[in-house]
Amino acid sequence: EAQVTQNPRYLITVTGKKLTVTCSQNMNHEYMSWYRQDPGLGLRQIYYSMNVEVTDKGDVPEGYKVSRKEKRNFPLILESPSPNQTSLYFCASSSHSGTSGTYHSYEQYFGPGTRLTVT
C-alpha cells in the first residue's frame, strides 16, 4: 500500500531535549516536505526536499533541521525544542518536484501527523 509513515504519532518532551521525527514514503517520490499546523494559522511549510541531498527552507524553518540521505526518508530534527514548537506536524511526499519550463503539480501524499508537545 502506498503510504507516508511518521513516527512517533504522539510525543511529549521537555524544553531543550533533542528529538527526531521520522518520515518515510514507499512511493519512490522525489519531493518531500514537512509542515506544521497550528490553530488559526493553517498549514505552514517548514522544509522541503526536491531530491536526495537537496533541501531548502520553507516558510517557518527556524528551530528545525532536516536531512535527505535516502530517497524514502526525510527526518525532522529539533535540536533544542521550545514550547512554541508545540504543534501538529505533517510530512508529505510527491512525485512532482517541479522543473523549470514544465508545469508544476502539487499532488502530495500526507502522513498521519505527529502531535508534539514541548513543556
Partner 1 sequence: LAKTTQPISMDSYEGQEVNITCSHNNIATNDYITWYQQFPSQGPRFIIQGYKTKVTNEVASLFIPADRKSSTLSLPRVSLSDTAVYYCLVGDIAGRSSNTGKLIFGQGTTLQVKP
Binding site for partner 1 (CB under 8 A): 4, 31, 33, 35, 41-45, 48-50, 56-59, 88, 90, 92, 97-113, 115
Measured from the CB of residue 16, what is the shortest distance to partner 1 in angstroms?
A: 27
Cβ burial, residue 14 (10 Å; 0-12/13-18/19+): exposed
CB of 22 closer than 8 Å to CB of 91: no
- Rank residues 99 and 119 by Cβ distance to partner 1 and give the closer one: 99
Residue closer to partner 1 by CB (options 28, 105) is 105
The nearer residue to partner 1, 18 or 109, going by C-beta atoms, is: 109
- Phi then psi for 84, rounded to 5 degrees? -75, 0
Q: How far is the CB of 17 from partner 1 (least distance, A)?
A: 25
Task: Give the H/E segment covering residue 115.
Answer: strand 114-118
Measured from the CB atom, the residue of 15 and 28 that comes closer to partner 1 is: 28
CB distance 37 to 54 below 8 Å: no
